Amino acid sequence: MTRSREPLHKRLLALLLPLTLAGIAVGGALVATKVLADDAISILLGPLRFRSSDSTDAIVIGGVAAVVLLAVAWRRRRWWRIVAWSCLVAIFALCLVSLAKTGHETWPVGDGALIELYTIHALEGHQ
């Protein structure tokens, strides 16, 4: 039986820190997805109620957690780096969706004016 020379608290920290950061990043992505889909979220955790109608906070928190996870996991096992990059890609995609959703619908203004002008000219016999 081989024993590690590192103390137990360092081994637990080495496991729990990336796991916690990955959980925060995934949780932020899930909350942002829910807010983007339904326009609001309300979570009751014991006596505390968390409400959000904007996905920006969840995206920022998830993105920061994913970047810190990437920094922490850079010299660790390869699958932690894969998890970190996956979280970053998911957060980036949600950021793009959030930007697209906040844009206003645009309608071509010139088309209606051109049709009206054409109709007026046709009624007056100029064409």
* Burial degree of 97 (CB within 10 A; 0-12, 13-18, 19+): middle
The whole-number pLDDT of residue 89 equals: 93
Q: What pLDDT is stored for residue 92 in this prediction?
A: 92
Give the whole-angstrom CA distance, residue 54 versus residue 113. 37
* Rounded distance between C-alpha atoms, residue 39 and residue 23, angstroms: 23
pTM, full prediction:
0.65
Determine the pLDDT at residue 127. 64
- Identify the segments of the chain with pLDDT beneath 50: none
User: What would the pLDDT profile of 47-65 be if each residue is shown by its tens digit?
Assistant: 888 777 788 888 888 899 9
CA distances from 37 to 11, 22, 93 (A): 39, 22, 14
For residue 35, count CB atoms less than 10 angstroms from its CB and return exposed for 0-12, middle for 13-18, buried for 19 or more: buried
Q: What is the pLDDT of residues 82-99, one digit of tens each?
A: 888 998 999 999 888 888
How far separated are the first and last CA of the chain, in Å rounded? 96
Sketch the domain layout of the chain as residue ranges: 8-124
